[in-house]
Amino acid sequence: MSVAFCGLELDHPVINGSGTFDAIAAGRTFGAALHERFPFSAFVSKTITVEPRAGNPPPRLWETAAGMINSIGLPNKGLDGFLAQDLPVLAELPVPLIVSLMGTSPEQFTRLVEGVAAEQAVAALELNVSCPNVHSGLIVGEQPEETLALLEALRPLTGKPLIVKLTPNVADPAAVALAAEEGGADAVSLINTLKAAAIDPATLRPWLGAGRGGLSGPAVRAVAVEQLRAVASAVGIPAIGMGGVASGADALEMIAAGATLVAVGTENFRDPAAGSRVASELAKLLESRGFEGPGAARGASLDSPAGA
C-alpha cells in the first residue's frame, strides 16, 4: 500500500483534507492511541493566514442530503501563533506534515511560505487558492493567470513540495491545474468545496451567518471525480483526489480517476477513524481486484493514463 508522493514515502495513499481533522484536539481526546493508530499517512493542517482571524459569524454549518455546507471562514491563530503553539505539537505526529496556507496577496503568501518552509518539521506546503468563505475580492485559483503568477513568485522561495488546492467553482479546472504546473507546482489537490447556500425554513432567510458557504460530503463526489479525471488527463504532476470519500470503494474510484493520494474530509467528522478504515478497505479491494498496489490502479479510467 506504500506510495511515493513528491519525494515522500507514505505507508498508504489515504490522507486528510485540510481543516477536517483537528489532530491537536484529537491528541487531547485520544492520547497516545492517536499516534499508535494515526488514521492518515500524512497530515494536512487547517489553513493558516498571516494574521489571526476570528472566522465567520455563526451559524457556520448546515447539514444537507448527503453532505454539509460550511462557512467556517478560516479562523486561525495566524502565522506567529501557528509556529509558536501548533507546529511543535503537529511536529510530533508519526507522519509527514503538510501545512496549508492562504493569503489574499502574493506578499502574504510569500510571508507564509518563508515562515513555514524553513521549519524542519514541515514536509510540504499546500497553497489554498480556493477557499469559498473568505471574500477578498479575488480568488487566485479562479484564474489561470493569477495562479501562474503566484507560483512564479513562490517557487523560488523553497525546494519543498508545493501543492496547489484547486477550486471546483470554475468552468475549466484543468486550465488552472496546467497554470499551477507551469509555475512549478509539484502537485495539485482537488476539490475544495462547491459554493452553496441554505435557507432557514422558519425565517426564509439564509441559514449561514455569512449567507453562503461550501458544500462537501458524498453529495459532491461525482463532481470531484469528473474534475479529477479532467485535471489528471491534463497535467503530469500528481493529484490528490478528494470530495465525499467515505469508503475504500470511493478511494479506488478516485485512484482510477487519476489520484496518487486520496483525502478523506467530511467523513472524519462522523468517524475520526475513517482514514484507517478507508485505507484498510482500499487495501482489501485492491488485492481482491488483483492490483499489486494503488499505483497499479491509478488512472485506470483515463483514456491516456499519466505516464503511459
Stretch that binds ligand RRO, among 126-134, 155-163, 230-238, 239-247 (CB under 6 A): 126-134
CB 195 within 8 A of CB 169: yes
C-beta separation of 122 from 113 below 8 A: no
Query: Distance between the two ends of the chain, CA-based, in angstroms?
Result: 21
Q: Could you say whether residue 73 binds ligand RRO (CB under 6 A)?
A: yes
Is position 243 an interface residue for ligand RRO (rule: CB under 6 A)? no
C-alpha to C-alpha distance for 99 and 86, rounded to whole angstroms: 11
Judged by CB under 6 A, the chain residues 212 through 231 that form the site for ligand RRO are: 214
- Rounded least distance, CB 288 to ligand RRO, Å: 34
* Encoded amino acid at 15, one letter: I
210 part of the interface to ligand RRO, by CB under 6 A: no
C-beta atoms surrounding 238 within 10 Å: 22
* Contact flags string 154-193 toward ligand RRO, x per CB under 6 A: --------------------------------------xx
Least Å distance, CB 134 to ligand RRO, is: 7
- 6 flagged as catalytic: no
Nearer to ligand RRO, 129 or 274 (CB): 129
CB of residue 9 to ligand RRO, shortest distance in Å? 27
Q: Does 133 bind ligand RRO (CB under 6 A)?
A: yes
Residue 132, interface with ligand RRO (CB under 6 A)? Answer: yes
Provide, rounded to whole angstroms, the least separation between the CB of residue 18 and ligand RRO.
Answer: 7
Catalytically active residues are 131
